[in-house]
Amino acid sequence: MVEGRYLSLNPNKVRKDENVKKIILTGITILLIIIIMWYYVYLLGIDTKYAIKFSQVFGSYNIKRVDQFLNKETAISYRGITKTYEQLRNNVMVAFEERRFKMSEGSSYGNGNNKFVNGVQEIQIQSYVIYDDISYSVPITMRLKIKGINKFMVKSLSSDAAFFGYLFYRESIKNDLD
Amino acid sequence: MYTYCANNPLIHIDPSGNIYLIAWSYGTKDVKEYEQYNEQYLANNLDIDITIDGKTDDWNEEIWDDFNQRSSFARAAYTRKKELLERGIPESDIEVQRIDSREDLKEVWEKWAEYDLVEGLDFYSHGYSGGPEVYRGSGNFWDSAQKLNWGSTLRNLIVNGKQIGYVNSPYAAFYGCNTANGEFAQNFADKQGVATFAQTDFSNFSRTTTYRSLIDTHDTSLDVYLLSFETMGLINKDGRGKIFIPQPK
């Protein structure tokens, strides 16, 4: 009896249903491939994005933007000394108030190797700053940690450049910022 | 018969003796990446122990020779030299110079200022809206750069008695990121009296000039270009960059 029921099905309808299933499956597969590819490209560009963001954030003189860019526990290292951003936040605010430096948009850029080793990617940033009307190079190493699928936090920033010391540690700047 | 230019005066250039200057510099980031990349190679083949710190103080001649071939900035500079040679410029009229510091830039520029006729300057380096940056920063060099003796004044391009544009020879071209986005390029054009090209976006190394095609970093092959690719970071729309024409005072 059961066989009879199946035999009574319209073969054209069965074929149509199968085609619809195939189309849906193909659509889902294509969508998945697109999402994976988009995510891959997104991850490839994240190092550059953060490198560029450095000058946008610090050039804005807006401490709130720095708060969003860094975390309280972000390690800031300068010539062998390491403190957290939370400990150094006030120094950054003083540097913003003094406004002796200018960091224009597009004056920082760089890249990593697109690999997150233990969830961390090291990014070499090349940035330039004008301090008292003279431009200097400020090379910075950023360690970016991936949290989950698309959340990132700046784990550490380090540099030996004198401007970096001025910005975070209130180091006095002499004739040569290098 | 234009024998000196293979009977094709439109493509080739009369070897007039005017000099073409090509300069290249690099950033601390590039030095560090090179040190990292070559750690093994340098240790095994060059018998030298270098610290990976982005500083060149401990480099010897062998390392410099290697860097001169592998730096993407150098490869772009020598690609330009190759282009000029292909255009019929004698090798003796082309000078390629590596710039290692702002002091070096000052010295080299002073030497260039003594040349009788400079027909072109191509400057491969990092940069931003404030101007091109050499290793460890250019300081305030560009505010006071001596005027070079450019080969000729900017020529008006006149067709049927009407000035329709400019012939951009001689020229200065800066390939560093965002060099067109501040006052630098126009100031340079005005002070030097030379048509100046600069980049309107972040610059990237590419195998081709029209669309961005990735290069092999730390390789030694030529055909490497440094340009900004304005459309989605992929397509270059303005050739050697945005042009800045000297403005009348």
* Range of lowest pLDDT (B33-42, B191-200, B235-244): B33-42
- From the list A124, A125, A135, the residue facing B133 with the nearest CB is A135
- Asked if residue B26 lies in contact with residue B71, where contact means CB atoms within 8 angstroms, the answer is yes
Measured CA to CA in angstroms, residue A16 lies from A10, A55, B2, B204 at distances of: 10, 58, 75, 52
Phi and psi (nearest 5°) for B121?
-135, 125
Nearest chain B Cα distance for residue A126, angstroms: 6
Residues of A in Cβ contact (< 8 Å) with B33: 124
Tell me, yes or no, if A52 comes closer than 8 A to chain B by beta carbon.
yes
Residue A3: the pLDDT is 54
Residue with tokens 């990132």: A152
Model confidence pLDDT, tens digit, residues B60-82: 888 899 999 999 999 999 999 99
Q: Which residue has the higher pLDDT, B187 or B162?
A: B187
Give A18's pLDDT tier (boundaries 50, 70, 90): confident
CB B130 to CB A107 under 8 A? yes
CB A136 to CB B139 under 8 A? yes
Q: Judging by DSSP bridges, how do beta strands B195-198 and B242-244 pair with one another? A: antiparallel
Angle, CA of B47, B51 and B56, to the nearest 5°: 90
DSSP code per residue over A43-109: HHHHHHHHHHHHHHHHTTT-HHHHHHHEEEEEEEEETTEEEEHHHHHHHHHHHHHHT-EE--TTSEE
Residue A15: the pLDDT is 79
Residue B138: the pLDDT is 92
Phi and psi (nearest 5°) for A145?
-105, 135
Angle, CA of A146, A152 and A156, to the nearest 5°: 90
* Range of lowest pLDDT (A83-97, B44-58, B199-213): B44-58
Residue B11: the pLDDT is 41
**Cα gap A51→A149, rounded to integer Å:** 20
Kindly state the average pLDDT of the residues A28-57.
94
ipTM, interface predicted TM-score of the complex: 0.77
Model confidence pLDDT, tens digit, residues B14-61: 444 589 999 999 999 999 999 988 776 766 666 667 788 888 988 988
Q: Which of B25, B29, B31 to mutate to test the interface with A (most CBs of A within 10 A)?
A: B29
Tell me, yes or no, if A132 comes closer than 8 A to chain B by beta carbon.
no
Domains of chain A, earliest start first: 2-169 (3.10.450.50)
**Cα gap A11→B247, rounded to integer Å:** 80
Residue positions counted in chain B: 249
Give residues with Cβ within 8 angstroms of B138, minimum separation 6.
A135, B102, B105, B131, B132
Nearest chain A residue (CA) to B181: A106
Smallest CA-to-CA distance from B205 within B101, B133, B85, B125 is with: B125
Residue with tokens 């190394």: B205
Global pTM reads 0.83
Nearest chain B Cα distance for residue A27, angstroms: 27
* A174 has pLDDT over 80: no
Smallest CA-to-CA distance from B74 within B109, B100, B56 is with: B100
* Range of lowest pLDDT (A32-36, A116-120, B152-156, B171-175): B152-156
Give residues with Cβ within 8 angstroms of B181, minimum separation 6.
A104, A106, B128, B129, B200
* DSSP E strand stretches across chain B: 19-24, 94-98, 118-124, 126-128, 131-133, 155-159, 162-167, 171-174, 195-198, 203-206, 225-228, 242-244
End-to-end CA distance of chain A: 90
Residue B64: the pLDDT is 93
A125, β-bridge pairs = A110, A140
Cβ count near B103 (within 10 Å): 13
Model confidence pLDDT, tens digit, residues B164-188: 666 557 899 999 999 999 999 999 9
Residue A135: the pLDDT is 86
As a whole-number percent, the residues of chain A with pLDDT over 90 amount to: 71
Model confidence pLDDT, tens digit, residues B81-137: 999 999 888 999 999 999 999 999 999 999 999 998 899 999 999 999 999 999 999
Residue A13: the pLDDT is 77
Nearest chain A Cα distance for residue B59, angstroms: 19
Residue B232: the pLDDT is 86
Domains of chain B: which residue ranges?
A: 16-244
CB A124 to CB B131 under 8 A? no
Phi and psi (nearest 5°) for B6?
50, 40
Residue A93: the pLDDT is 97
Residue B45: the pLDDT is 64
* B10 has pLDDT over 60: no
Residue A142: the pLDDT is 97
Which runs of consecutive H residues, i.e. helices, occur in B58-178? Answer: 61-70, 72-86, 102-113
Residue B3: the pLDDT is 40
Nearest chain A Cα distance for residue B210, angstroms: 21
